[in-house]
Chain A
Amino acid sequence: QKEVEQNSGPLSVPEGAIASLNCTYSDRGSQSFFWYRQYSGKSPELIMSIYSNGDKEDGRFTAQLNKASQYVSLLIRDSQPSDSATYLCAAELSGGSYIPTFGRGTSLIVHP
Chain B
Amino acid sequence: EAQVTQNPRYLITVTGKKLTVTCSQNMNHEYMSWYRQDPGLGLRQIYYSMNVEVTDKGDVPEGYKVSRKEKRNFPLILESPSPNQTSLYFCASSVGLAEITDTQYFGPGTRLTVL
Contacts and interface: CB of A to CB of B under 8 A. Distances in A.
Interface of A: 32, 34, 42-46, 49, 88, 90, 92, 98-105
Given A43-B106, A92-B101, 14 more contacts: A34-B101, A34-B102, A42-B108, A42-B109, A44-B43, A44-B106, A46-B104, A88-B42, A88-B43, A90-B43, A98-B50, A100-B101, A102-B43, A104-B40
A3 B93 CA distance: 23
Interface residues of B, number: 23
Contacts of A42: 108-109
B42 A103 contact: yes
Interface of B: 31, 40-45, 48, 50, 56, 58-59, 90, 97, 100-104, 106-109
A90 B90 CA distance: 15
B59 A90 contact: no
A107 to B, nearest CB: 12
Contact of A102 (B31, B44, B48, B97): B44
Given A99-B58, A102-B44, A90 B101 contact: yes
